[in-house]
């Protein structure tokens, strides 16, 4: 079985300037992303129930995006 990396909730709602550990967290997650083949990285964003579906969610500033495998969930985890 192959390993995949799920990058969950690394979006500007949670990880941004002024929020706790935003720089350290982004660097650590980017290091982990870089250690996986791009076809094994999956991003999962949380869309709050009140948010419009036609508005694109924003990833955390500086997050390494290596895959187009991006999915949305509707409940916070």
pTM greater than 0.75 (yes/no): yes
Q: What is the pLDDT of residues 46-76, one digit of tens each?
A: 887 777 777 888 899 999 999 999 998 887 6
Compare 65 and 21 and report the one with higher pLDDT.
Answer: 65
Most confident of 8-12, 20-24, 46-50, 64-68: 64-68
Tell me what pLDDT residue 1 has: 47
Q: Could you tell me the residue range of the domain that residue 36 belongs to?
A: 5-73
Three-state SS at 7: strand
Q: How many domains does the chain have?
A: 1
Q: Is the pLDDT of residue 5 over 80?
A: yes
């Amino acid at each position: 079985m192959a390993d995949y990396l799920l990058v969950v909730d690394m979006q500007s709602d949670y990880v941004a300037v002024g929020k706790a550990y935003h720089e350290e967290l982004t660097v650590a997650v980017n290091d982990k992303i870089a250690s996986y083949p791009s076809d094994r990285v999956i991003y999962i964003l949380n869309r709050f129930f009140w948010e419009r579906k036609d508005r694109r969610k924003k990833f955390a500033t500086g997050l390494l995006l290596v895959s187009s495998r991006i999915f949305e969930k509707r409940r916070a985890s």
